[in-house]
A and B are shown apart, each in its own frame.
Chain A
Amino acid sequence: MRENLFKLRVSQVLKYLVPIYLVYAFAVILPLILSFVYSFFDDYGTSFSGWAPYSKLLQDSDFWLSFKNNMILVLICVAGQVGIAFIIASLLMSKVLKLRGIHRRAIFLPVVLAPVVTGYLWTLFYNYQFGILNWFVKLFGGDPVLWLDDPAKAIYLVSIPLVWQYVGLYLIIFLAGMQNISKEIYDAVEIDGANWRQKTMFITFPLLKNVTQVALVLCISGTMKTFDHIFVMTGGGPGRSTMVMAQYSYNNAFLMTKLGYASTVSIGMIVLSGAVVLLVSKLIGGKTDSD
């Protein structure tokens, strides 16, 4: 019976799906196709060059460095944003935390700030002379640390504001998702003597699988195209140490006016990001998400 009820009818396709997809196709797909065509042109977009830009991209060490940086950020953000949000969400659902109402509201506040504000503020936190972090370091008798100036650690440091800003986003996604878990289930296991960890592991987590999956997709795709924070915090520097793919494409387009190559970079970036997202959702989701 269910099969018949949820069988898509032509009238539904026409009424619901087609109009929405038309808008989407017009503003997203069509320009993307244009960009794709552009990506086969030479640096300055003046003449068609076939696959040459792509073979250049494959050998472009700056691009692959950016990709590597993006992957580092993805790993940190998945663990940080989604992981921390999940823990906080499950804590908020238990009795462990005090001041739950305040936490819940406050942790989302950074999400409200524009990324450029977050980026700028964190440069002040990281500031060598006046920054809050070094103030703490000095408080505990340490020597002030050069944070963002060290090319070796800069990429890890710029990831922290990213995590900090978006924990709240995944937190409310989880909290909204948790509403589907009925109170009865919790009450039942509580009577059986389950503790917070057990509740989280055996009830919350499995029931939030769908939400977690979508949170991961959002997190990975968002981090793969991250731009504003890093643009404001380091501009990709020192040198190229925090360059990410989106900024590399932006620099090519608007700093060096190589619009053709910038498109090649963007397409390369979309392909790589798509591959990572699909891979991850296959790994964690099995059949549910990709069918």
Chain B
Amino acid sequence: MTNKMKIGLLAVPANVLALLFTITAIFPIVWMVYTSLKTNPEFSLSLFALPSQPTLSNYENAFRVGNLSSALFSSVFNTVLTIPLIVLGSFILGYFFARYNFRGKTTIRFVLLVGMLIPIHSLLVPLFLQFKWFGMLDTRFTLIIPYVAFNLSLTTFLFQSFIRDIPTEIEEAAYIDGSTTDYALFRIIFPICLPMVSTAVILNVLHTWNELPFAFILNRSAELFTLPIWLTYFSGQYTTDYTGKIAGLVITSLPIVILYLFFSNKIMNGMSAGAVKG
């Protein structure tokens, strides 16, 4: 039973380190929540202490800063519209890259790779100009196209790597039976890709939800402003409402954390079906 002993030797440090990591990973959320219950005078005396008299005043205030509900609506609107587009587009591209060989594939893959290398800020002015020429500034839909385009690359590469590991037999059989590409894509491969779909959804929701530069450059009207813009309203030129901002962060992060916990179950359910048992 040397195997068992080896596992035992490894288990202690591995568990301790994993536990430490987990604690540091949870701490920020805990810190944010309890700090949001403090007042600014209390916060500026001690950055880590627990609130002596927890108060919800920061949350009450949050509704007076800017327009929280409209920011929430804009963020949800952008996210709900972009995520399906990103996932579908990337899934399709990923499929073709993984399965098909064609002339120019290296080139168009490289073109897609470039999208992951561009520092967002360097495209603000060009993109603004371009949207101005096309009359696309400052509408409900303005951010959809940039959000889809800028998240396409990363997600495509994820899907490609995932699909490449899926055996081709089922599709081959289906194609021989006269299946259409649509059928193979969405009825055969897509269901197998669900764990990666969950991953893609989480990642892209995060990117879209937290995106700031495009949101404040391409839109002007206050009613189109998203949550990250709303969060900047807690700092003036000379002063910052720290605890108010942290309460704001709790409000804006909450939907994402919940969404993540939901999707992490999706991944895990898939896991226990397909992989080693505990």
- Interface residues of chain A, those whose CB is within 8 Å of chain B, are 1-2, 5-8, 12, 15-17, 20-21, 23-24, 26-32, 34-35, 38, 88, 91, 93-115, 117-118, 121, 124, 127, 130, 132, 164, 167-169, 172-173, 175-183, 186-187, 193, 195-196, 207, 210-211, 213-214, 217-218, 221-222, 224-225, 227, 245-246, 249-250, 253-254, 259, 262-263, 265-266, 269-270, 273-274, 277, 290-291
Q: Which of A28, A113, A254 contacts B121 (CB 8 A)?
A: A254
Q: List residues 168-218 of chain B with CB under 8 A from any CB of chain A.
A: 168, 171-172, 175-176, 181, 195-196, 198-199, 202-203, 206, 210
Q: Which of the segments B16-24, B57-65, B68-76 contacts the partner chain?
A: B16-24
Q: List 17 A-B contacts (CB under 8 A).
A: A8-B102, A16-B93, A20-B89, A23-B145, A38-B126, A96-B11, A97-B15, A106-B26, A127-B47, A172-B199, A175-B267, A176-B196, A193-B3, A217-B157, A218-B154, A225-B117, A254-B121
Contact B165 A207 (CB under 8 A): yes
A277-B113 CB under 8 A given contacts A98-B15, A113-B28, A183-B276 = yes
A179 cross-chain contacts in B, Cβ below 8 A? 195, 270-271, 274-275
CA distance A148 to B24 in the complex (A): 19
A30 cross-chain contacts in B, Cβ below 8 A? 126, 130
Q: Which of B196, B199, B276 contacts A94 (CB 8 A)?
A: B276
Q: Is B33 an interface residue (CB 8 A)?
A: no
Q: Which of B93, B119, B171, B270 contacts A227 (CB 8 A)?
A: B119
Q: Is B80 an interface residue (CB 8 A)?
A: no
Q: Which of A1, A17, A26, A27 contacts B93 (CB 8 A)?
A: A17
Q: Is B236 an interface residue (CB 8 A)?
A: no
Q: Which of A102, A222, A225, A262 contacts B22 (CB 8 A)?
A: A102
Chain B interface SS verdict (over half): helix
Contact A32 B28 (CB under 8 A): no
State the interface size on chain B (CB cutoff 8 A). 97
Q: Which residue of A lies closest to B124 (CB)?
A: A253
Closest chain B CB from A149 CB (angstroms):
17
A273-B276 CB under 8 A given contacts A97-B15, A99-B19, A168-B25 = no
Contact B261 A221 (CB under 8 A): no
A32-B161 CB under 8 A given contacts A6-B101, A20-B152, A99-B19 = no
A224 cross-chain contacts in B, Cβ below 8 A? 117
CA distance A249 to B118 in the complex (A): 11
